[in-house]
Structure 1
Amino acid sequence: MTYQFKDWNGCKIYLSFNREDKPQDIHHVWVICRYQEQWLLTKHSQRGLEFPGGKVEKGETLEEACQREVYEETGGKVKELTYLGWYRVCGKKESFSKAIFYATIDAMDHNDDYLETSGPQLVSEWPSQINQQKEYSFIMKDKVLPLSLSVVKNRQLY
């Protein structure tokens, strides 16, 4: 089943948790992280609180990109990584696909530089009506997050 909806910016989103229909052109990752019974987010300098993620570098696998992005943006060391699904953003100027993963983090390092973020942010519980919370990124405010968390819960990953 592929979900279709619009994101916070009005872009059309296609979301699937079926590994068989994963597109070949995935060049971004988004990693839902859990550390010591809390959600591990990062604070992007422009967008706000969100899960770590980013572009896959040349020669990297999706899994390697997840590990690198989580470490660069939070200092988190991935213990276990599980593929959840993918989503495609059809923007006004460009379209791109992201693979969605779930990661358990077993240790945290302090980094001197967290690149475009201000480092790790731990959250115990989601705020009610997250889409009205200014400190959260627009990436956290569409249906990708709750549907992905549903998959995490159904698969009993935490």
Structure 2
Amino acid sequence: MFAFRDYYGNEVLLSFADHPFSQTPDHVWVVCRYQQQWLLTNHRERGLEFPGGKREENETTEQAALREVKEETGGIVERLTYIGQYQVGQTLTKNIYFAEVKELSKQSTYLETNGPVLLDELPDDLTKDERFSFIMKDKVLTYTLAEIKRRSL
């Protein structure tokens, strides 16, 4: 388990174990790949980030992850893998997934985002890049990318 402070100084606990903080968290975050590129979304207020959001009533976290990727990028997920879970303070818990996207479909709306953004590589130091959301600027992303690499996903 990892413990650190996020971009705003909140305490974060991160684990790659099976649901260490909650069996039914209310939020999801999905690290996506499409045709050997990173698939992000451009949130209108926060900037570039991986898709994610709140689980709706009567929805599993897996269903929420698939829906969020589709709504925010137009992506159709081919394979979804549970990676881990993180908790911010005592109130917010998110499941982390890795998604391999098989297709991007053009949509008339991407809800609160400006749609998909494809990057060959993520910058080495996202904390100094103003294009990226605060969600991308703490160790959750760093450790998650290392875990995805470790699992050879």
Q: How does 1:8-87 map to 2 (within 5 A)?
A: 8-19=7-18, 21-87=20-86
Q: What is the identity, as a one-letter code, of the residue corresponding to 2:143?
A: L
The size of the alignment, in residue pairs, is 153
SS in 2 for 1:46: coil
**Structural RMSD (CA):** 1.1
- The residue number in structure 1 matching 2:119 is 123
Q: What is the identity, as a one-letter code, of the residue corresponding to 2:117?
A: Q
**Aligned equivalent of 2:139, options 135, 138, 143:** 143
CA deviations 1:3-62 (Å, max 9, x no partner) are 110000111101000115241351000000000000000011111000000000011111
CA drift of 1:129 comes to 1.2
Q: 1:18 & 1:52 partners in 2: Cα distance?
A: 22
**Unpaired runs of 5+ in structure 1?**
none
CA deviations 1:104-154 (Å, max 9, x no partner) are 000010011000000000011111211000000010010000100111101
Identity %: 49
Q: 1:97 & 1:22 partners in 2: Cα distance?
A: 7
Moved over 3 A (4+): none
